[in-house]
Amino acid sequence: MKSFRRLPAPAGRLAVPCALPLRPFHATLMGCLLGLGAPAMAQSALEPVVVTATRTPVAASQVLSDVTVYTRKDIERQGAGAVADLLRLAPGFEMGRSGGSFGTTSLFVRGADTRHTAVLIDGVRVDSQSTGGATWEALPLDQIERIEIVRGPDSVIYGSDAIGGVVQIFTRKGEGQPRLELGVGAGSRGLAKADASLSGRSGAIDYAVSAATERSDGFNAIVSPTNSSYNPDDDGYRNHNASARVGLDINKAHRLEVSALTQHVNAQYDGYASTDDDHAVHDLDTARLAWSAQWLDNWHSDLSAGESKLRYETRPSAYVTETRVRSYAWNNQFSFGEHLLTALLERREDELENTGLSSAPTAGEGDRSQNAVGLGYAWRHQGYALQFNARQDDDSQFGSHTTGGVAGGLELGAGWNLRGAWGTAFRAPTLYQQYSASGNPNLKPETSRNAEVGLRFRQGGFEAGATVYRNKVRDLISYDAPGICADSWGCYRNTGRAVLKGLTLDAKGSIGPVRLAGSVDFSSPKDAETDEILLRRARRHASLRADTDAGAWTFGAQWLVSDKRQDFDYDSYSAKTLGGYAVLNLDVQYRISDQWRVLLRVDNVADKDYQTSYDYASVPRTVFVGLRWAPKF
């Protein structure tokens, strides 16, 4: 009989699925996936452990959700840029960006809007109460040790926001002997960066501190001189960030941990009808205190308190918005042989300061709170698995909201596994949508119902899978109906509906010395009212990663492919078609010694001219060279 046990802290290697975006998609993909399954497969490394799917550590092969894990190795290979540059390669992800790496960025998970993805840093929720969702361009890449992605609704675990999925970012954690690492790099258009980190363990205390800085002269973001925001200057950026994480093992059963992160980005952009040197300034700060306790052999609990502050300011035009999110959680797990019970108490407090909040109780300010209780049950026995979860959130503005989910898995033998899941989710309206001049205090939460089925094959170091999903989203908040509120331009109302459905195919493995990983998505994210594909989403998109070792050298390549998409031009007030594209990125690493490494990366090798947002250029060909030193003590 198998019993549930608490797994060690997250560790492991890349668990990113694979895909081949060749033309035509349908004719070549399955041949690729079958080809990867040749008998000569390398044995897989230590299996990753995932905590985000259920808020408890679970081996990746036993998770009943569609997950992806990125490690520090994958992050360093990226070279430079923001978190979105890495996540756009993940299955089910699409990106829309206005200009360079730190321009306004949207990420669509399985076609869901960017505000429908819950984002956490070390368990701390990051969310803008003006635009809704995380500000992706403000999330640092240098401070990250690991990223876990869960696709599909997870509000039953995390409350508001998780209609499309959850992204959790983990900062660096110290272990073993003291380790110092220094890095410098330079590249095209004045790109330069430097970072330093120190981590390790001394007795009962583990520690990790790091800092990084990055700058670039950028490029002219807006393509057409007829655009009302066109300014022919280059739009560069400056980025500074730092993090610290310290843990204390009081004894074998109790641990205290404190973590903090800060990020400052000053990015140039082209403002509307402006000839000024416009700047967008992002500041992100997070902090968390956590206590982990093993009270009994079968009872473990985690108690935490955290806060995030997200501030956005434009200069010289005067606009400032600042969101604070405070969260408190007490999570408990009780194991009884093959059965696992979980119980969660959680409180979230949102505060927004914005000069546009004219209808708030206090002009320029708004706040609300949510109290939640969640219960879960999981069972696993001889290849069968079941999981049930329920949660109720009581919001100070719109009352209570209940979410639920059920999932099951079945091992079919010979490496095959079948899973299915059904769940509900919601996104609370932002404080700006409620209290601004165009706000509506009677807004209801956006809600969704999702069903999905996944089939996965694992054998040796090879795995491949397929996931089919259908997510119906109701009460979408839209901006329309001018003349019925204080703002003559319009008001926020619950008027929209969407149906997000699709198929994701993925695989990873080795053919001889070459490691391959990738995915392909066939999706149909539609507006249920008009039956039109949602803006900036493609029906087909795919990615492929290949790398191989040759002595001290490691050669890698990434191929990113997307079909055409629709966007909207607010100058002409008409729909526009964005062409499809295929982008190739190459990277080479050379290990000079155990302490020295050199990285060469070339992004957009063919200097492809393409757009992910109408009239905004994407990053042209960029060369980056980096040097890393990790001395041994």
| 3-state SS class at 610 | coil
Q: What is the pLDDT of residue 234?
A: 92
Per-residue pLDDT at 493 exceeds 60? yes
Distance CA 478, CA 397 (A): 19
Q: What is the pLDDT of residue 268?
A: 93
Q: What is the pLDDT of residue 489?
A: 65
Confidence of residue 103 (pLDDT cuts 50, 70, 90): confident
Is the distance from CB of 610 to CB of 581 less than 8 angstroms?
A: yes
Q: Which of 13-27, 491-505, 512-526, 597-611 has the lowest mean pLDDT?
A: 13-27
Distance CA 282, CA 266 (A): 7
Residue 7: φ, ψ to 5°: -85, 160
> Which residue do the tokens 């190739």 mark?
584
Burial of 437 (0-12, 13-18, 19+ CB in 10 A): middle
pLDDT higher for 228 or 10?
228
Q: What is the pLDDT of residue 140?
A: 81
Classify residue 188 by its DSSP letter: G
Q: What is the pLDDT of residue 80?
A: 63
Q: Which of 28-32, 254-258, 342-346, 364-368 has the lowest mean pLDDT?
A: 28-32
Distance CA 202, CA 176 (A): 8
What stretch of H or E contains 479?
strand 462-480
Q: What is the pLDDT of residue 75?
A: 83
Per-residue pLDDT at 572 exceeds 90? no
Average pLDDT estimate for 619-632: 94
The pLDDT mean for the chain works out to: 88
Classify residue 122 by its DSSP letter: T
Tokens of 303: 């108690």
Q: In terms of pTM, does the model score above 0.95?
A: no
The tens digit of pLDDT for each residue in 148-199 reads 999 999 999 999 999 999 999 999 999 999 999 999 999 999 999 999 999 9
- Cα dist from 261 to 38, 50, 122, 179, 351, whole Å: 44, 22, 10, 20, 20
pLDDT higher for 445 or 359?
445
Q: What is the pLDDT of residue 24?
A: 43
Mode of pairing for the β-strands spanning 165-171 and 117-121: parallel
Distance CA 434, CA 25 (A): 44
